[in-house]
Amino acid sequence: MNVNVCRQVDSADGCRAILEVVTIRLATHLVAIEEYIQRTLLYHTIHHGQLNDMVNSALQELLESELLVVDRFGGYEATLLSQATVASYLTPEDGIFLRGEFQKALKAFVMDGEMHIFYMFTPVTISGCADIDWVVFRREIENLDDSGLRVLNFVGINPAFVNRMLGLRPNVQRLSTNTRQGQQRQATAGRHCRGDTIRAYLSPLLHCPSAS
């Protein structure tokens, strides 16, 4: 039987799959990882050279991001960060992002208001499932007190950026999403919506629904 599968393979997919395999100790050496890959549907649907490049690239990224380390036997070993990431069903990118957020919070935490607590308790996994309404976001910022504004500054969000994105909004709406120009403008806006920006937007909406 001939199976043809349209599959877009990227490094993020490879990193997550390999991280989980190594963390649960299903395969901890390169030979074992390659044997595991050979037993997947992916191995039979794309060029083997491309798949090998993806595996090598994913392993290198995981080592550089300190999600994996090489042990004294030449095998791969999971770090505490990777164990927490896999146990929480997070992607490697989300795990690294959250580590950075917690490290910043350990250095300083805005205690004279609730905004920082709301931000930290907003799940990082929902950031990919929401589109920012820049009008609502600017209204949220205008309603923040000094404590809330300090939180935005602390997590790296500049209110001027929100105003700039709001200025793009009418132009993007006037351009049909069917046109190449409209798609490029929306893609540009989307690239600026980092996880911390979306979480800051969603925090008051989730924890204080009346804010919307």
Backbone angles phi, psi at 68, to 5 degrees: -130, 155
pLDDT under 70: residue ranges of the chain: 1-11, 126-130, 168-195, 206-212
Q: How far is CA 127 from the centre of its chain?
A: 8
Q: Is residue 85 a contact partner of residue 99, using CB atoms and an 8 Å limit?
A: no
* In the chain, where the domains are located: 11-87, 108-211
Question: What's the pLDDT at 36?
Answer: 92
Beta bridge partners of 68: 78
Token pair of 70 as six digits: 């090489």
- Can you tell me the distance from the alpha carbon of 14 to that of 27, in angstroms, rounded to the nearest whole number? 14
- Closest alpha carbon to 124 in 191, 189, 192, 206: 206
The whole-angstrom distance between residue 99's C-alpha and the CA centroid of its chain comes to 12
User: What pLDDT score was predicted for residue 203?
Assistant: 78
Query: What pLDDT, on the 0 to 100 scale, is given for residue 9?
Result: 55
The reported pLDDT for the residue numbered 10 is: 59
- pLDDT score recorded for residue 19: 94
Mean pLDDT across the chain: 78
Per-residue pLDDT of 19-70, as tens digits, reads 999 999 999 999 999 999 888 888 888 888 888 888 999 999 999 999 999 9
Identify the pLDDT of residue 2: 42
- The CATH number for 11-87, chosen from 2.40.50.140, 3.30.465.10, 1.10.10.10, 2.40.420.20, is 1.10.10.10
Residue 86 has a pLDDT of 95
User: In sequence order, which ranges of the chain are alpha helices (DSSP H)?
Assistant: 11-23, 30-38, 48-64, 80-87, 92-107, 115-121, 134-142, 146-154, 159-174, 180-192, 195-207
Q: Are 202 and 122 in contact (CB under 8 A)?
A: yes
Q: What are phi and psi of 106, to 5 degrees?
A: -70, -30
Q: Which amino acid is at 14?
A: G
